[in-house]
Amino acid sequence: MNINARTAITLLLKGLFYKSDHEDAWDELIEGSYGGIFDYFEVMGLVVMVDESEGFAYLQNMSFEEGEESLPKLIRSRELSYKVSLLCVLLRKKIADFDMQNEDTKAIVTNQEIKDMVLLFLPSKTNEVKTLKEIDTSIKKVQELGFLRLLKNQDGVYEIKRSIKAFVDAQWLNELDLKLQEYREVES
């Protein structure tokens, strides 16, 4: 296996893998060692998910039918906080709006725009400084998830990564609605 195939495997193991960040490894994943890389992960019960049009790939646990022998899951589902979930939904909406209005490939948002969007959905608190710090923490978490990228030489300006479209889909939104409903019932 060549260096680009090994690089593609390593990047997939680390999380989201973007074509724009590693062109040679991407080309190897798509055209070169496609079968070999996919077979490598299949042995571990993982599937390589590729969105060629948006230029990203990631790993997902294999689905097994009931009664079929299954493997332990390697990739754990992460429980996101309310603010992180809210931010993901708002960024997903923002990229959808951007796609309808612009032909540019990058959806750009500033730190202040993010804070303004999130603050609309949070209860008014007396400690605004604490709330803003919590939003900053949520922004960092969304960056770690790979859905936001801080642009170089532009303080407080982010690119919304297109991979958010694959993760924040109708099913994800439905599950979030159910959790919010449970939360409201507990709070009342």
Residue 77 lies in a domain: no
Give the tokens for residue 131: 């709330």
- Strands (E) across 37-181 are located at 46-51, 56-61, 107-110, 148-150, 157-160
Domain shared by 170 and 88, yes or no: yes
pTM over 0.85: no
Instruction: Looking at the structure, tell me whether residues 112 and 154 fall in a common domain.
Output: yes
Q: Are residues 178 and 86 both part of a single domain?
A: yes
Bridge partners, 61 (sequence order) = 46
Where the chain has pLDDT below 70, the residues are: 34, 103-104, 125, 170, 177, 180, 183-188
User: What total number of domains does the chain contain?
Assistant: 2
State the residue range of the domain holding 91. 82-187
Written as six digits, the tokens of 73 are: 């899951």
Q: Domain holding 168: CATH number?
A: 1.10.10
Check: CB of residue 139 under 8 Å from CB of residue 114: yes
Do 90 and 181 sit in the same domain of this protein?
Answer: yes
Q: Looking at the domain assignment, is residue 131 inside a domain?
A: yes
pLDDT of residue 34: 67
The tens digit of pLDDT for each residue in 140-164 reads 999 998 899 999 888 899 999 988 9
Q: Residue 149 and residue 163: Cα distance in Å, rounded?
A: 12
Structural domain includes residue 68 = no
